[in-house]
Structure 1
Amino acid sequence: MREKYPLLKIVDKTGKIVAKEYETEITAEKAKQFYYHILRLRTYDKKGRALQRQGRIGTYVPYEGQEGAQVGSALALKDDDWMFPTYRDHGATLTFGADMVRNLLYWNGRTEGNVPSKEKNIFPASVPIATQLPHATGAAMAEQYKGTENAAIVYFGDGATSEGDFHEGINIASVFQAPVVFFNQNNGFAISLPIEKQMNSETIAQKAESYGIPGIRVDGTDVFAVHLAVKEALERGRRGDGPTLIEAVTWRFGAHTTADDPSKYRDQEKSDQMREDFDPLIRLEKLMKMNGIWEEAWVTSIQDEIETEIEEAVVKMEAYEKPKVSDMFDHVFAEPTWTIAEQKQMLRGSR
C-alpha cells in the first residue's frame, strides 16, 4: 500500500533536491518566503510556551516541527479561500493572515480571541475533534453554488480519522464534488495514542479510496512538497474535479499541550534526535546554503523584525481590560437558558 501511496518528497533531510522534475518549483524567492514564515512561526511558538510558563496565558498548544506543513499549505491558498483550523494550526492561520493579537487573546482565554477573523475567511479553531470537516465541506459547497472559484482547506490530526465527522465530511464532499482539501497532519500520536493503535491501515492517504477521491501522501517536513501538493489539490477543486485527501507525515517535537508530559508515552530522546532529519527549518536552511540563497544579514534582519512584531502583539494583548467573570455565562447562548441564568445568579450571590 505504501508503494501505491508513495511519500512525495522534493527536498531531502540533507537539503538536496531529490525530485528533479520539480526543480523549477524551487526558487530563491520561494525559499526566502518559506523560511521567513517558518522562522516567524517557530519564534511565535517559543514565545507562546514561555508566556504559558510565566502564567501570562492559559494552556498553550505547541506545533514545533509541523511548521513546514502549515506554512506550505497556507501559502497555497488564495485570498478568498476558506481555512478551517484545529487548535494546533494557529501557525497556518497566522501565515494566511490572521491577526496575531487576536490569536494571543485566544490562548489567554478571552472571548475576543474566538471571534472569526476579519482579515481572511478563517473559522475559529476547532477543539472538538473532526467537527470542522463537515463545516469545511459546507463552505466549499456554498462557494460552488455561488459559482465562485474559491476553495477550502480543513486541517485535522491522525486521531480525527477515527471520528464519524471525518467520514461524513469527506463522503458528502465526494458526492457533491466540493472544492475542499482535507489536510491531515499525521504527527504519529493522537495525544498519547500512537498511530498503530489508532488504525490498522498502513496510511491515512489510502482512506481516500473509500470515497472515490485522490489520496496523496507527502513529507510534511518538506515545505516545497507540501506547497506543491496542496496547490495542485486546490486547483483540482477549483476546476470542479472535487476534493482531495492529503496526508502530511510530520512530527511534533514537544508535548501535545503545555498540560501534557510526552515522556510518559514516547521516547523523548528519540524525538530530540529526529530534529536533525525532520526539522523543516533546518532542512530549508540546508537547501538555501547548498544553493547559494542563504544570507546571514537577511536572516538577522527578519529575526529582529519577527521578534519585534511578536513583542508588540504581546503588549497589545496584555493591555486589554481584564475580562469579566460573567463572560463565561453571557456567550454560551444567544438567549441565556434558565440554567445559565441560575448559575450566574449563584455566582453573584457567592461574591
Structure 2
Amino acid sequence: MKHVLESVESQFETFQILNEDGKIVGKDDMPDLSDDELKELMRRMVYTRILDQRSIALNRQGRLGFYAPTAGQEASQLGSQFALEKDDFVLPGYRDVPQLIWQGLPLYQAFLFSKGHFHGNQMPEDLQALSPQIIIGAQYVQTAGVALGMKKRGAKTVAITYTGDGGTSQGDFYEGINFAGAYKAPAIFVVQNNGFAISVPRELQTSARTLAQKAVAAGIEGIQVDGMDVLAVYAATKHARERAINGEGPTLIETLTYRYGPHTMSGDDPTRYRSEELDNEWAKKDPLVRFRTFLESKKLWSEEEENKVIEEAKADIKEAIKKAEKYPKQKVTDLIGNMYEELPSNLVEQMEEYKAKESK
C-alpha cells in the first residue's frame, strides 16, 4: 500500500512554463497567446497589484469594510480568469474579487461588496457569477450544481471556482469534486495553495504530499501548477476548460502561490506564523517580476507602459470609491425586504417599525 501511495504522489510534479528568472523552461507547453494578449495579461496583473495596495489603504482609513489581500496571487487569479470565456460562470471565494472585476463586475460594486452593501452582490446581467463566498468551501458544492445545469442545457461553457488550501479540509470540497466527477460536469476547481490557510501550515492540514492528488479519489484529472507563473496557470486552465466543454469532466488545479499580506485586514498578523526568511524566499518568486522580465526580454514591456497602467488604476480606483461612497446607504428595511418575497408575519411589524424610524 505504501508503494501505491508513493507511486500516485510521484506523478504530481509541478507544472511550470516560466521559471523564477523569467526564462521559458516549458517551451512545448507555451500557450498560443499573441503579443497583445501577453501585454494585456501583464497590464491586468499590475492594475490588480495597485488595486490591492489602494484597497488596503482604504480599509485602514475606514472607507472599506472586509478585505482579503491579493498581492502575490495575481498569476493564479488572473492567469486562470484569462482562460475563460465571457459566458463561463465564476463562483469565487472572498479573496477572488479580482477575477470578478476582470470578468465584468464594475469596480465600484466591488467596493460596495466590501462595505457590506447589498448592491455589491447584485451581478450585472451579462456577468455569470455569484458573489464572493464567505463560507469556506461552500462554493465547491455550488459549482458542481451550476456545472451540471450547464451540461443538462447543452451549453458549451464551464463553471470555475476557487478556494485556498484550507478549503480542502472542508467536507464541501470533496463533496463538490466527487459530485462533479460522477456526472462529468464541466467544472474547474482551483485550489490556491498559499501555504497557510488562515494560519495553519498546509503540512498540518493533510498528510497528502500535494493537494492536486486529492483528485484521484474523486476520479477526476488533477494537476499541480506553479501559481507564480501566469503562463502555466493560463495553460492549465485552458486545458481544463477544453476538457470540460468536450464532455471529459472536471479538473482540479492546485496552484502553488503565496499571499504577501495577511489573511484578511480583520486583525490577522502573519508574523505570528510565517518567518521573515520564508517571506523573502517567496518575494523572489513574485509573479509580476517574473512576467515583467520575460516581456522585457521580448521588447514587449517598459517602465513607461507600467507607469501608465499604475496611473490608470489609481484614477479608476479614485473614481470608483467616490461612486461607492455616494451610493444610497443601505437601510434596515432594505435588508428585510431583500430577504423575502413575502414577509413572514413576525417581520411585518418590524418592517413597519423601521419604515417609521427611517422616515424621520
1:14 to 12, 15, 21: 21
C-alpha contact (below 8 Å) 2:17/2:232 kept by paired residues: yes
Return 5+ residue gaps in structure 2 as ranges: 1-7
SS at match of 2:301: coil
Read off the aligned partner of 1:214 and give its amino acid letter: E
In 2, distance between residues paired with 1:139 and 1:23?
A: 31
1:317 CA drift (Å): 0.8
Q: 1:195 to 1:338 in 2, by over 3 A?
A: farther
> Within the alignment, does 1:220 sit opposite 2:235 as a pair?
no
> Within the alignment, does 1:62 sit opposite 2:61 as a pair?
no
2:300 to 293, 314, 317: 293
1:177 to 176, 184, 192: 184
2:210 to 191, 203, 206: 203
Return 5+ residue gaps in structure 1 as ranges: none
Q: Which residue of 2 aligns with 1:276?
A: 283
TM-score by length of 1: 0.93
Read off the aligned partner of 1:269 and give its amino acid letter: E
Q: 1:166 to 1:336 in 2, by over 3 A?
A: same
In 1, distance between residues paired with 2:172 and 2:225?
A: 23
Read off the aligned partner of 1:289 and give its amino acid letter: E
SS at match of 1:121: coil
Read off the aligned partner of 2:22 and give its amino acid letter: G
1:296 CA drift (Å): 2.6
In 1, distance between residues paired with 2:332 and 2:338?
A: 11
Deviations 1:151-179 (A, max 9, x none): 11111111111222112211111111001
In 2, distance between residues paired with 1:196 and 1:84?
A: 27
SS at match of 2:252: strand
2:38 to 12, 31, 35: 31
In 2, distance between residues paired with 1:339 and 1:189?
A: 44
Read off the aligned partner of 2:173 and give its amino acid letter: F
In 2, distance between residues paired with 1:299 and 1:152?
A: 32
Q: Which residue of 2 aligns with 1:73?
A: 80
Read off the aligned partner of 2:91 and give its amino acid letter: F
> Within the alignment, does 1:229 sit opposite 2:236 as a pair?
yes
Q: Which residue of 2 aligns with 1:144?
A: 151
SS at match of 2:50: helix
In 2, distance between residues paired with 1:322 and 1:24?
A: 46
Read off the aligned partner of 2:231 and give its amino acid letter: F
Q: Residues 335-350 of structure 1: matches in 2 within 5 Å? A: 335-337=342-344
Q: Which residue of 2 aligns with 1:42?
A: 49
Q: 1:71 to 1:263 in 2, by over 3 A?
A: closer
C-alpha contact (below 8 Å) 1:62/1:258 kept by paired residues: yes
- Amino-acid identity (%): 36
> Within the alignment, does 1:116 sit opposite 2:92 as a pair?
no
Higher mean alpha-carbon deviation, 30-39 vs 337-346, is at 337-346
1:148 CA drift (Å): 1.7
Number of equivalences: 351
1:117 CA drift (Å): 3.5
Read off the aligned partner of 1:189 and give its amino acid letter: F
Higher mean alpha-carbon deviation, 24-33 vs 68-77, is at 24-33
In 1, distance between residues paired with 2:173 and 2:136?
A: 9
C-alpha contact (below 8 Å) 2:199/2:270 kept by paired residues: no
C-alpha contact (below 8 Å) 1:192/1:262 kept by paired residues: no
Q: Residues 97-136 of structure 1: matches in 2 within 5 Å? A: 97-136=104-143
1:297 CA drift (Å): 2.5
SS at match of 1:261: coil
1:347 CA drift (Å): 7.3
SS at match of 1:274: helix
In 2, distance between residues paired with 1:264 and 1:336?
A: 48
TM-score by length of 2: 0.91
In 2, distance between residues paired with 1:23 and 1:157?
A: 26
C-alpha contact (below 8 Å) 2:31/2:235 kept by paired residues: no
Read off the aligned partner of 1:219 and give its amino acid letter: D
C-alpha contact (below 8 Å) 1:84/1:155 kept by paired residues: yes
Read off the aligned partner of 2:210 and give its amino acid letter: T
RMSD over equivalenced CA pairs, Å: 2.2
In 1, distance between residues paired with 2:151 and 2:33?
A: 32
